[in-house]
Amino acid sequence: MGRVINSRIFALAIIFTLMFCVLVGKLFDLQIVNGEDYLTRYVSKIQKTVYTPGTRGNIYDCNGRVLAYNKLAYSVTIQDTGAYTSDQTRNLMIFRLIQILEMIRSYFPECEEINMDATVTSILKRSDAELEAFYKLGVRHLYLGIESGLDDVLALMEKDHDQAQAYEAIERLHRVGMIYDAHIMTGVAGKGRGIENARALAEFLNRTEPAHVVNFSMFLHKEVPLYQNILDGSFIPASERENLEEERCLIELLTADILYDGFHDFIEFRVRGRIPKDKEKMLARLDQVIKATPKTEVYSYVQGECPALERCGGGSVWQNAMN
């Protein structure tokens, strides 16, 4: 018996047994204890829910003649979430993108337009000939992260452009026939600066005339660097009521023909319409919600990852929307 205990085989058996136990424990943690959390995080990185309007249907006159009808068309949206550390890497990405665009035209000739996310600096780095080539390959709409109308706010949020550069990039897009759409964020300027930001944004949007403006009222995420600015007092966040008042000021000042979508998901409020046609209805709806929003300060503190974003006070941000 002593020989068995002292043998190398017995020592190896003990080591392999311990390793097997560790493996089983790790698998138990991955599959049983934290399986759902890991799955949610993985899905959030590869999947995004995009809401599209339903089919309108045919419209007839009193004699049954068709005035407007539906025509099947395909629209492809490409989003760039990568960070490129060198011109060589970026150029390789562009080459691959051109290959994808050519494949879309080859396999889906009925596709009428391709929409993409872009940055101001990525546009400025492209020549007019390159932008025209993208247009000929079917690219029509570019969504730009404008975010704010104030240069100091853009710098604080570490955007890689200022307003002058944004004007230049959008002018170049218009020259080649592309349409630009704007992403903005109410609340990004911080407490007490919402109206200032709304006025600056209104001036910018009225001059550049985006086809579509999407406002995502800013979440205050506890796991991003800005939260440290909140803790040390270098950034004072705006309340949800302030964000609503900022949006109201912005919509009131907009005069360009714009499809506008405003999302305040933390307080479960959204406003949508065509400006200027629906402006009065949108303002009335905002007035109603602002009046109903308590004056006690409510802040959109969240944690976790999309689509499982959670309120810091408990509960999913989009729980009611998904039920």
For residue 58, is it within any domain? no
User: What pLDDT is stored for residue 183 in this prediction?
Assistant: 93
Select the more confidently predicted residue: 161 or 68: 161
79/155 Cα distance (integer angstroms): 23
Domain enclosing residue 28, as ranges: 1-35
Mean pLDDT on 178-186 = 94
Mean pLDDT on 133-148 = 90
Count of the separate structural domains present in the chain:
2
To the question of pTM greater than 0.85 for the whole model, the response is no
Joined together, the tokens standing for residue 198 give 């709304």
User: Are 22 and 116 found together in one domain?
Assistant: no
Low-confidence winner among 63-72, 251-260, 274-283 (lowest mean pLDDT): 63-72
Low-confidence winner among 34-38, 145-149, 207-211, 275-279 (lowest mean pLDDT): 34-38
User: What pLDDT is stored for residue 3 in this prediction?
Assistant: 52
pLDDT tens profile 80-129 = 555 566 767 767 777 888 888 888 888 888 887 888 888 998 899 888 99
Select the more confidently predicted residue: 8 or 92: 92
**Max Cα-Cα span within the chain:** 103
User: Are 122 and 236 found together in one domain?
Assistant: yes
Which among 312, 304, 316 has a CA at the least distance from the CA of 41? 304
For residue 158, is it within any domain? yes
User: Are 29 and 75 found together in one domain?
Assistant: no
CA distances (Å), 54 to each of 48, 49, 70, 149, 210, in order? 19, 15, 11, 33, 23
The angle that helices 163-175 and 128-136 make with each other, rounded to 10 degrees, is 50
* Residue 301 pLDDT class (50, 70, 90 cuts): confident
Beta-sheet pairing, 139-147 with 179-184: parallel
Q: Among 67-76, 229-238, 292-301, which range has the highest average pLDDT?
A: 229-238
For residue 41, is it within any domain? no
CATH number at residue 232: 3.80.30.10
- Average per-residue pLDDT in the chain? 82
User: Which run of H or E residues covers position 269?
Assistant: strand 269-275
Joined together, the tokens standing for residue 182 give 């704007």
User: Are 16 and 122 found together in one domain?
Assistant: no
For residue 28, is it within any domain? yes
User: Are 146 and 82 found together in one domain?
Assistant: yes
For residue 21, is it within any domain? yes
pLDDT tens profile 198-239 = 999 999 999 999 999 999 888 887 888 888 888 888 999 998
* Residue 13 pLDDT class (50, 70, 90 cuts): confident
